[in-house]
Amino acid sequence: MKIKEYVNAEMVRSSLANTPQITFEVTDACNLACVYCSYGELYFDYDKRDNKVLDVEKARRFLNYVAELWDSPLNKSTHNNLYLSFYGGEPLLNVPFIDEVVSFANNIKSKQRQFTYSMTTNGLLLDKYVDFLVINDFSLLISLDGNEFSHSYRVNKDGQNSFKHVIDNIEIIRHKYPDYFTKRVNFNTVLHNRNSVRDVYDFFKKNYNKIPSIGALNDMGIREEMKDEFMRMYRNTTDSLMQSENYSELETEMFLSSPTYHSATVYLLQHSEFKYENYNELLYGKVPQKKVIPTGTCLPFSKKVFITVNGKILPCERIGQQFALGCIEEKNIDLNFEAIAQKYNHFYSKTDTLCSECFNSKGCVQCLYNLDDLEEEGEPECKGFMTQEKFDLFRNSQLNFLARHPEAYSKIMNDVIYR
């Protein structure tokens, strides 16, 4: 196989200099034992969980390393805000780390460099740390699957449903800090066979007047012997929405949280003739572009950087940890931009032929790390591959959706694309 050059070391370095987000896996310990956890018995593609905590020194070393790039001419960002996010395990089991990193970031912030803090939490320790989170204006994403039965896969180490504990803590925040709750607290729900899009929507609307983000179970990296168990629990968000009573009304109310609106938005972003990247395109016309990079994978670090509890450096938390691109060592940062570019060029070259024959290549959102056989010899397979016939069906379904929802078109164009 001939390796072509799609990306080079400078592009990767520049992506890191402009990255909008750094996420720290603060600890691999958790105070829950959710049945479907991505680091549990259903999956194989993660480092052994060992109740470890991420070393604060490593986080400081990495932030200092990135700060040098921010201050270099490579930083072309028009925004001056960087999200620092804390992830687990359960991040609130390691608040000393979070506290130190927040203090460090507050010390190095300036007019040109601001930080916004965010966290995904299971909510069990919120009563203890709510003041700290409010003082530092954290964006909170609380994992809650709906009502008590819907939440019943999220159990503690004794197998007890954590619903009541989480709900009580949410009430504490809501009563103590109502404005903060309204502005900075959101919910994250996993869809499975004990809830549905309709149940979840109704629960959050009625109790908190919020629309949660609803995602399906992670379908990558499943152990062979657990596939039946996984399929028993798995539910597809679009199917669940379509099966809802008054689904059309529901999808309109959910807007971008609905899988159908989301899909139409991605379609318009990729295919609309009326979407312009900049004023030059608007005024002087679009330059016809040949899409040169196969798949829909982001340029490494262009969306975020994920630091695991072991100091591994990844382009995000949604891919297997075997794909680390570097590591924070005891004394230095091991990040070889040349080697990263070569690795991507190797992967892209493997998918090049397949993608050049795919009719959805222009609108592709498939990450190459989520192709099943990426690391094996030969060309990987892609479930999203579209023949002309399949693409016509897909395009028609998106256009039919927009024709049935004329208000959706203007809302997506005005509120999302030109926001």
Residue (194 or 390) nearer to ligand SF4, CB: 390
Task: Considering only the stretches 70-78, 160-168, 361-369, 403-411, report the one whose residues sit in contact with ligand SF4 under the rule CB under 6 A.
Answer: 361-369
* Residue 312 β-bridge partners: 327
Q: How far is the CB of 320 from ligand SF4 (least distance, A)?
A: 11
Nearest alpha-carbon partner for 404 in 178, 230, 251: 251
Cis check for the bond before 89: say yes or no (omega within 30 of 0).
yes
**91 touches 98 (CB < 8 A):** yes
Residue (58 or 350) nearer to ligand SF4, CB: 350
**297 vs 6, 267, 324, 351, 366, CA distance in Å?**
12, 16, 15, 11, 6
Choice from 9, 266, 269, 367 touching ligand SF4 (CB under 6 A): 367
Angle at 269 between CA 346 and CA 254, to 5 degrees: 115
Residue (321 or 360) nearer to ligand SF4, CB: 360
Choice from 354, 413, 416, 417 touching ligand SF4 (CB under 6 A): 354
Cβ-in-10-Å burial (0-12, 13-18, 19+) of 265 comes to buried
Span between the terminal Cα atoms of the chain, in Å:
43
Is 12 a binder of ligand SF4 (CB under 6 A)? no
- If binding means CB under 6 A, how many residues of this protein chain bind ligand SF4? 23
Choice from 360, 405, 408, 412 touching ligand SF4 (CB under 6 A): 360
Q: Which amino acid is at 40?
A: G
CB neighbours of 206 closer than 8 A, spacing ≥ 6?
Answer: none
Residue (192 or 304) nearer to ligand SF4, CB: 304
Task: Considering only the stretches 89-97, 194-202, 241-249, 291-299, report the one whose residues sit in contact with ligand SF4 under the rule CB under 6 A.
Answer: 291-299
**355 touches 294 (CB < 8 A):** yes
Burial readout 353-370 (b: 16 or more C-beta within 10 A, e: otherwise): ebbeebbbbebbebbbbb
Residue (146 or 320) nearer to ligand SF4, CB: 320
Residue (141 or 144) nearer to ligand SF4, CB: 141
Choice from 211, 382, 408, 412 touching ligand SF4 (CB under 6 A): 382
Choice from 16, 358, 408, 412 touching ligand SF4 (CB under 6 A): 358
* Residue 214 β-bridge partners: 189
Distance CA 360, CA 279 (A): 27
Residue (328 or 386) nearer to ligand SF4, CB: 386
Q: How far is the CB of 155 from ligand SF4 (least distance, A)?
A: 28
Residue (170 or 358) nearer to ligand SF4, CB: 358
Q: How far is the CB of 304 from ligand SF4 (least distance, A)?
A: 7
Q: How far is the CB of 364 from ligand SF4 (least distance, A)?
A: 3
Is 295 a binder of ligand SF4 (CB under 6 A)? yes
Distance CA 23, CA 20 (A): 10
SS percent in the chain: helix, strand, coil, step 5: 45, 15, 40
Residues 296-325 that bind ligand SF4 (CB under 6 A): 296-298, 303, 315-316, 318-319
Is 355 a binder of ligand SF4 (CB under 6 A)? yes
Q: How far is the CB of 189 from ligand SF4 (least distance, A)?
A: 20
Is 143 a binder of ligand SF4 (CB under 6 A)? no
Is 364 a binder of ligand SF4 (CB under 6 A)? yes
Q: How far is the CB of 120 from ligand SF4 (least distance, A)?
A: 15
Distance CA 404, CA 60 (A): 52
Going by the DSSP 8-state scheme, the letter that residue 198 receives in this structure is H
Cβ-in-10-Å burial (0-12, 13-18, 19+) of 292 comes to exposed
Is 384 a binder of ligand SF4 (CB under 6 A)? yes
Q: How far is the CB of 368 from ligand SF4 (least distance, A)?
A: 7
Residue (203 or 369) nearer to ligand SF4, CB: 369
Is 218 a binder of ligand SF4 (CB under 6 A)? no
Distance CA 347, CA 294 (A): 9
Residues that bind ligand SF4 (CB under 6 A): 294-298, 303, 315-316, 318-319, 351, 354-355, 358, 360-361, 364, 366-367, 369, 382, 384-385
